[in-house]
Amino acid sequence: MMHYATTQAVRGEVKPGSWAEAVLDAADRGEVDRSLCPVLMIDYMGPSLDTTIFGISSGVWLFAKYPEEWDKVRESPSLIPNAINEILRLEAPVQGFSRYVASDYDMDGITLPAESRAIVFYGAANRDGRKFPDPHKFDVTRSNSINQLAFGTGPHMCADIHLARLEMKAIFGSLARMVKRFHIEHEERVVNSVLRGFAKLNVSTERQ
């Protein structure tokens, strides 16, 4: 990926008017250190790969396990954005992420010391029963699914959040028009300490 960012995501190779060109334009104006351009490219490319793929495949897996929820989406495609939030709540592709603690912070009597690192477990927060009643239930009509933390929160929220949502909405919108049922033929979870998803998910479908 670094090789691609340094040799292909460069002036003359990127699409005119794209976000990649905007990064290079910012470097030309002196707003961004030119040496950081490859890293910025990766910051956009990385989240658009495994995490979005895992989010989509986890959605197919959930709809196979809960066909009644898929029926709701098929009958009312307007539920797709909320269904995406519910998929991400239950199966957050990024389960946890570290954050730098800028100053001492008290959390329920426990002090997080300044200049330390804290792990924010998005997956655990998304299944907190104090926030989400019946937290392990998959419900595409859940009223507060939008509060899920799969993309993080605050100023360091995932920069690719809108791209990921757009990709997921487009795919599930198309599937809702074509597929009546998903059937899992084989599943194999990926072994990763940060990401949650499938290394392999073989699916057969019933067409409408």
> What digits encode the pLDDT tens for the residues 83-141?
999 999 999 999 998 889 999 999 999 999 999 999 999 999 999 999 999 999 999 99
User: Domain range holding 117?
Assistant: 49-207
What separation in angstroms does the CA of 127 have from each of 20, 95, 149, 195?
A: 36, 11, 10, 16
Distance CA 197, CA 94 (A): 9
Same domain, residue pair 109 and 173? yes
Same domain, residue pair 178 and 196? yes
Same domain, residue pair 108 and 175? yes
Q: 């090789």: which residue's tokens?
A: 3
Give one word for 108, left, alpha or beta, with left for phi > 0 and alpha for psi -120 to 50. left
Same domain, residue pair 93 and 18? no
* Domain harbouring 130, CATH code: 1.10.630.10
pLDDT digits (tens, 9 = 90+) for 187-202: 999 999 899 999 999 9
Same domain, residue pair 33 and 105? no
Same domain, residue pair 12 and 77? no
